[in-house]
Amino acid sequence: RVDPCRLIDLPDHSDDRGGLTVVEGGRDVPFEIRRVYYIHGVPDGAARGAHGHRRLRQLIVALHGAFDVVVDDGHASARFRLDSPGRGLYVGPMIWRDMVDFTPDAVGLWLVSELYDPADYYRDYAEFRRDARAL
């Protein structure tokens, strides 16, 4: 069955010198981290995502500012507001996702389990939903 999306509180080592948050692959997230990217400068009203992944796992963190991640497993959807560098959203395979409502200062960090592979993407929601419901 589908690995559920969930918020993960990340190890915090903040002290009077400032914040320090750690993510270790295989420990704090249930995958080895093979790629990192970040999204920033999202124009007002713009949306990203609108796809699902066949195999890829990821942790999404709002390093600065805030945005919403809407996830859908082909049966039901849920919406998560990410607004803290101390907490990430784990999204596993066979989840459709949309990122919306970015604040102008938002910087999102993605830690992911695979190198970039266009063949891992579902871009068509009907195809995704059919396959997700057949799991």
**Residue ranges in contact with ligand T46 by CB under 6 A:** 35, 37, 48-49, 97, 99, 110, 116
CB of 46 to ligand T46, least distance (A): 10
> How many helices (H) does the chain have, and how many strands (E)?
1, 10
Instruction: Find the shortest distance in angstroms from Cβ 76 to ligand T46.
Output: 19
Burial 81-111, CB ≥16 within 10 A → b, else e: ebeebebbbbbbbbbbbbbbbbeeebbbbbb
Q: Considering the candidates 13, 51, 64, 75, report the single residue annotated as catalytic.
A: 51
Report the residue number, 48 or 129, with the smaller CB distance to ligand T46.
Answer: 48
From residue 49, how far is each of 11, 18, 20, 64 by CA, in Å? 27, 32, 28, 19
Closer residue to ligand T46 in complex, CB, 15/119: 119
Least gap, CB of 97 to ligand T46 (angstroms): 6
Residue 51 among the catalytic residues: yes
Catalytic residues: 51
